[in-house]
Chain A
Amino acid sequence: MDVSQLSPANLGLFAVVGGVAALAAIGVVAFPSAVRSALCLVVNFFMLAFLYFTLNCEMLGITQIVVYTGAIMVLFLFVIMLLNLGAPQALIERRDLKWIGGGIFGLALLVVVGSQVLQPLMKVTQVKSEATFGSPQQVGLTLFSDYVYPFEIVSVLLLIGIVGSILLAKRRMQ
C-alpha cells in the first residue's frame, strides 16, 4: 500500500464509523434478546449510511436511511414487539453447541475470502470515479434511461410484495 496516499484524518473517521458498524454487527448476532439485536442493526445501518456518504454516494446513503433504517427496521421492531405482547419468553434464546461450529465456519470463511479476494486488492487507494457520480441527478438519469426496464420490473415486484403481505395478514375467512 502506498502510504503517502493515505490521509490520517479520513482513516480515523473511517475507523470510528466502521468500528461502530462492526461492533453493531457483532451485537446483532450476540445479543440473546431480539429487540437488542434489532437496535444494533439500526445502528449498523446508520453507520453504513455515513460510509456511503464518504464514498460520495449521497443519494444511496440517504435512501439507506429512509428505506432501511426508517421503514424496514421499524417493521422489524413492530413485529418483535407484537410478538412480545403474545409470548414474551419466546424471544430469548439459550446458548448451544452450535455456537462453536458457527464460529469455526465464520472464521474459515473470513480467512478464505480474505486471502483470495482481498489480498490482491490491498494496493488500491486511487479513486477512479468523479465526485458527483453519486448525486441524485446522475443516479436519476441512469436509472430512468439505461435501467428503466429493471426499474419497472422492481416496481411490479414491490406491488406483488404489497399484495402478498396483505393476504398473509388477513384473518382466515371462517
Chain B
Amino acid sequence: MGWYHHLNPVFQDVLNALGRVLLFLVPVLILVPGCIWWERRFLSWMQDRIGPNRVGNISWSKKSKLVPGFLKGKKWHLRGLLQPIADGVKLFIKEDITPSTIDRTIYFFAPAVALFPAFALGGVLPWGPNRNLTPIADVNIGVLYMLAVSSLGVYGVVLAGYASNNKYSLMGGLRSSAQLISYELAMGMSLACIVLANGSLRLTDMVQAQMAPLWGYVPFLQNWFIFTPFGFVSACIFLICMVAETNRAPFDLPEAENELIAGYHTEYSSMKFAVFFMGEYAAMFVFSGVFATVFLGGWNLLPVRWDALGHSSFVDAMVWMNTYLSPLWFFGKCAFGITTYIWIRATLPRLRYDQLMSLGWKSLLPLATGNFIVVAIWIMLTKVYGPAVGWGSSLVALFIVFGIYRAFMHGPKSKRDLEPRQIRLLDPSPRNVTLVNPEPEVTA
C-alpha cells in the first residue's frame, strides 16, 4: 500500500484514527441488536417464560428446485436471533407521527444528541494491548473524558422533553436530568478513588496497574481493583450509578410506561424512537465497558499473572490468548455487565422519585466521599509504613466509615420515619361500626 506512505502525516493520522474507530464501532453496532435479543430472552427466562424464539426460523422446502440438495427439508432453528432485525424493520416502516406544535429544530436534533455520548464514550476504552489498534484515543485524561461525556448525556433527555411541547414530557425530561446529574456526582467520586489509588487518569495505565501483583504481594494473581477493599466499594457504587445513568430499572421512573406515558420520548415515533432505543443499549454496552476497564482488569481474561508462573506450553498458550484474543474477553466482560443490567431489571422494583434522589445524594455520595478518605489514608500509610499496615488500616477505616453511615442513615430517628403512619381519630372512644350494606343472607 504505497499510496499510504506518500500521504501527509496528518492524513496518515486521520486514516489511522478512522480505522480504529471502525474497529470499535462495527462490533458495537452489531452487538446492540444482539443485546436487545439477549435482554428479551434472558429477561423472559428469569420471568419463567420463553421469549421471542420464532423469528428467523427457516424451514427449507423439500421440493423446490432453488434449494440445494443438502438443505432440502432441513430446519434452521435460529431461536429468535432475527427478532431485533424484525423490530428494526417495523420501526422503520412505521408511520412517523410528528406533532404540529413542537419546536422543530430541537425536536429533530434531540435523538442525535442523545445518541452521541453513548458512542463517544467508547473512544477511550482499550480493548487490547496493541497501542496501534486501541484505544481510539489514548488521552491522558481518560477517566475525566468519561465523566464529561456522561454529563453530556443529560442534554438529549432535556431537549427531547422540551421539544415535545407537552407538560408531561417536559416534567419527565426534567426529572430524568435531575436523576442523571445526581448520580454523576457519586460516579465521579467513586472513579476519583480509583484514580487517586492509581496516580494516573489514563485508562491504559489503569489496565497496566491492574496487571500488577494482587495487593502488591501475591505474585501470581492480578490486582483487579474490584478485589481491593476500597475498589470493591467503589465498584458497588459505580454499578448503582451506572444503572442510574442509563435510565435503566430500577431507576427508570422517567420512562416508566405507567407513570408519565413514556416520559421524555412520548412524542417520538418510529425512527427517532429507534434512535433513543439504540442509544440506551449502546450506553449500557459502553458503561459496562468502562466498568470492565476500571474494575475488572480490562482486556485480561483471568486475574492470573501468567509471567509469574514459569514457562510451560500451557502458560505460553494462555499468554497468547490473553494478548491476541483480548477483544473477545473485553466484549465478554461487557456482555457480563449487560447481563447484570438485565438481571437487576428483572429483580428489583422501580424506585420512587424521592427514594431515588435520597439514594443518590444521601447514601451514595457520602459513601463515595468516605471511600475517598479511606483511599487517602491507605496511600499515606502505605507510603510511611508499608503495604501490610496500609491494607489493614484501610479495612478498619472502611468499617468505621460504614459504621458512621449506618448510624446516621439507619439510626433511631430514621426508623421512626419508616413506621406506619398513625391516624388519630378526633373521637378516640371505641365505636360500634356497622356495615352500610350488610351481606344478604342466603335464603333457599
A: residues with CB less than 8 A from B are 9, 35, 39, 42, 58-59, 62-63, 65-66, 69-71, 74, 77-78, 81-82, 84-85, 135-136
Contacts and interface: CB of A to CB of B under 8 A. Distances in A.
A51 B144 CA distance: 17
B141 A81 contact: no
Interface string B131-167: 0000000011100110110011011001101100001
Contacts of A77: 158, 162
Contacts of A66: 144, 147-148, 151
Most buried by A among B106, B144, B147, B170: B144
Most buried by A among B148, B159, B178: B148
A78 B177 contact: yes
B309 to A, nearest CB: 34
A102 B178 CA distance: 37
Contact of B106 (A35, A58, A70, A85): A35
A168 B67 CA distance: 76
16 contacts: A58-B141, A62-B145, A62-B148, A63-B144, A66-B148, A69-B151, A74-B154, A74-B177, A74-B181, A78-B158, A78-B174, A81-B170, A81-B173, A84-B170, A135-B140, A136-B144
Contacts of B181: 71, 74
A74 B139 contact: no
Contacts of B144: 59, 62-63, 66, 136
Interface in B58-114: 103, 106
A66 B155 CA distance: 13
User: Which of under 10, 10 to 19, 20 to 34, or 35 or more describes the interface residues of B?
Assistant: 20 to 34
Contacts of A81: 158, 161-162, 170, 173-174
B151 A65 contact: yes
B367 interface: no
Contacts of B338: none
B10 interface: yes
A85 B177 contact: no
B201 interface: yes
Contact of A85 (B140, B154, B170, B184): B170
A85 B166 CA distance: 10
B111 to A, nearest CB: 15
B141 A136 contact: yes
Contacts of A136: 140-141, 144, 201
Given A58-B139, A74-B155, A77-B162, 13 more contacts: A39-B159, A66-B147, A70-B184, A71-B151, A74-B151, A74-B154, A74-B177, A74-B181, A81-B158, A81-B173, A84-B162, A85-B170, A136-B141
Given A74-B158, A81-B170, A58 B151 contact: no
Contacts of B177: 74, 78
A40 B151 CA distance: 18
A84 B144 CA distance: 33
A58 B154 contact: no
Contacts of A82: 174
A38 to B, nearest CB: 10
Contacts of B173: 81
Contacts of B159: 39
A173 B178 CA distance: 25
Contacts of B139: 58
Nearest to B161: A81
Nearest to B145: A62
Nearest to B11: A9
Contacts of A9: 10
A69 B116 CA distance: 15
Contact of A65 (B148, B167, B174, B201): B148
Contacts of A74: 151, 154-155, 158, 177, 181
A3 to B, nearest CB: 19
A101 to B, nearest CB: 31
Nearest to A135: B140
A94 to B, nearest CB: 20
A63 B201 CA distance: 13
Contacts of B148: 62, 65-66, 69-70
Nearest to B167: A85
Contacts of A71: 151, 181
Nearest to A136: B201
A70 B154 contact: yes
Closest 5 CB pairs of A and B: A70-B151, A65-B148, A62-B144, A66-B148, A62-B141
Most buried by B among A42, A70, A78, A135: A70
Given A58-B139, A78-B177, A69 B145 contact: no
Contacts of B174: 78, 81-82
A84 B103 CA distance: 13
B264 to A, nearest CB: 12
Nearest to B177: A74
A82 B177 CA distance: 13
Contacts of B141: 58-59, 62, 136
A69 B158 contact: no
Contacts of A63: 144
A69 B152 contact: yes
Contacts of A69: 148, 151-152
A90 B117 CA distance: 33
A62 B161 CA distance: 27
Contacts of B152: 65, 69-70
A74 B178 CA distance: 9
A20 B215 CA distance: 49
A69 B159 CA distance: 14
B155 A42 contact: yes
Nearest to A63: B144
